């Protein structure tokens, strides 16, 4: 066992650096990872014991505490996964002899169906975003830029099924030439290819032309700079702009999010005959079981479709007694 006496913070930072390098985690994943680890170790400090000495019983007590605080199963599963990996790295680096979480099972999660918009809703969103851009006076460059940026992001999200975190952080250098395929670094550091249809490519070209005319973007390395040109547009501001757009269309209280656009992309493709394996690749799912969730959406839709349009449903038997099998 490693006998080097280092402060807790130094050990934590060292292990997190190893994990980040090993897994190629995204910026947002790293933040979530650190947040989970910090929350747990702060709890340990209140109990006055070192995290290196924590055992299985301590962790079961910790997760019982989280359950009493009404943490969602998805949140608890993420925390457990982060901790298991962290303690496995501690073991490999020689700080502990065994992983105290190895026997703790994942928390059961409700298999909820992804929420998606109708094709009509998507068309209304895209049309409204385009019209908003066209209605803004040419001299209002800042407002016009924000409007076109949202329209371009919305078009790409629905055309490709990309995650918003994947899209907004894309470097401008990837679009020196707008091709049919683009290799991106997705969730968990895995690379995959994203396909652009002709409509998406046209919108990208328009955005690039407009972007090139904005002086504060001249030294920005990202495809979608934020308003002051010093970084890329955030998920929060994109979500906010998209919500305001949907609110203006009065979608009966539907809070449209970028992730909902991704779900809509998947659901609409599946409804139009796309196979699961192709959809898995397009969405960048590591496990096809994640993609299979969308088949439940389709099954629900097909059941409703049969009730609505099947010709037998229109036949009424007025005299049930005369009906013979």
Residues annotated as part of the active site: 163, 187, 259, 262, 285, 294
Among the residues of 114-184, which ranges form H helices? Answer: 119-135, 141-160, 164-168
- CA-to-CA distance for 47 and 3, rounded, in angstroms? 24
Closest C-alpha to 87, from 112, 52, 62: 52
Q: How many helices (H) and strands (E) does the chain have?
A: 13, 2
- CA-to-CA distance for 169 and 263, rounded, in angstroms? 20
- CA-to-CA distance for 94 and 98, rounded, in angstroms? 10
Helix, coil or strand: residue 145: helix
- CA-to-CA distance for 314 and 286, rounded, in angstroms? 44
Do residues 201 and 178 lie in contact, with contact meaning Cβ atoms separated by under 8 Å?
yes
- CA-to-CA distance for 211 and 223, rounded, in angstroms? 9
Distance set, CA 173 to CA 155, 159, 202, 220 (Å): 20, 21, 17, 11
Distance set, CA 5 to CA 37, 52, 62, 83, 116 (Å): 20, 12, 26, 22, 52
Among the residues of the chain, which ranges form H helices? Answer: 8-23, 27-46, 56-68, 73-92, 119-135, 141-160, 164-168, 198-211, 235-248, 258-271, 276-283, 288-291, 293-309
Do residues 126 and 152 lie in contact, with contact meaning Cβ atoms separated by under 8 Å?
no
């Amino acid at each position: 066992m490693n006998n080097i006496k280092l402060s807790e913070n130094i050990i934590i930072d060292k292990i997190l650096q190893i994990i980040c390098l090993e897994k190629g985690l995204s910026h947002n994943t790293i933040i979530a990872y650190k947040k989970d680890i910090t929350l747990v170790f702060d709890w340990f400090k209140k109990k006055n014991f070192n995290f290196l000495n924590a055992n299985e019983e301590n962790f079961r007590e910790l997760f019982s505490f989280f359950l009493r605080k009404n943490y969602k199963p998805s949140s608890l599963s993420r925390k457990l996964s982060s901790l298991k990996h962290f303690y496995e790295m501690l073991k490999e680096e020689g700080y502990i002899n065994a992983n105290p979480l190895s026997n703790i099972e994942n928390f059961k999660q409700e298999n909820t169906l992804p929420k998606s918009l109708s094709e009509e809703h998507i068309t209304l969103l895209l049309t409204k975003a385009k019209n908003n851009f066209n209605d803004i006076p040419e001299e209002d460059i800042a407002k016009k830029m924000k409007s076109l940026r949202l329209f371009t992001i919305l078009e790409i999200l629905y055309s490709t099924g990309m995650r918003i975190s994947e899209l907004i952080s894309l470097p401008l250098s990837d679009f020196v030439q707008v091709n049919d395929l683009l290799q991106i670094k997705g969730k968990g550091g895995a690379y995959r290819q994203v396909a652009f249809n002709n409509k998406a490519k046209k919108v990208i070209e328009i955005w690039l032309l407009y972007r090139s005319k904005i002086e504060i973007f001249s030294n920005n390395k990202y495809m979608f700079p934020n308003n002051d040109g010093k970084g890329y547009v955030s998920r929060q501001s994109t979500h906010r702009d998209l919500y305001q757009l949907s609110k203006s269309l009065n979608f009966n209280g539907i809070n449209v999010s970028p992730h909902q656009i991704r779900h809509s992309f998947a659901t609409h493709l599946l409804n139009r005959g796309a196979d699961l394996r192709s959809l898995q690749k397009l969405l960048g799912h590591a496990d096809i079981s994640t993609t299979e969730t969308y088949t439940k959406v389709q099954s629900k839709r097909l059941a409703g479709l049969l009730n609505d349009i099947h010709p037998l449903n229109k036949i009424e038997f007025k005299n049930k007694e005369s009906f013979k099998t």
